[in-house]
Homo-oligomer: A and B are copies of this chain.
Amino acid sequence: MSYTIHEVAEKMGISTYSIRYYHEHGMLPFVQRDANNNRVFEDSDLEWLNIIVCLRATGMSVERIKHYLDLAQDGDDTVPERYEMMKEQQARTLQEIQDLQQHLATINFKVDHYAQLMENHEPDSFLPSNLQQRTAVNQ
Contacts and interface: CB of A to CB of B under 8 A. Distances in A.
Interface residues of A, number: 55
A106 interface: yes
Contacts of A111: 83, 86-87, 90
A12 interface: no
A100 B108 CA distance: 19
Say whether chain A's binding surface is mostly helix, strand, loop, or mixed.
helix
Given A76-B123, A97-B97, A130 B58 contact: no
Given A42-B130, A75-B139, A87-B111, 8 more contacts: A43-B129, A50-B106, A54-B103, A76-B117, A80-B114, A86-B110, A89-B107, A93-B107
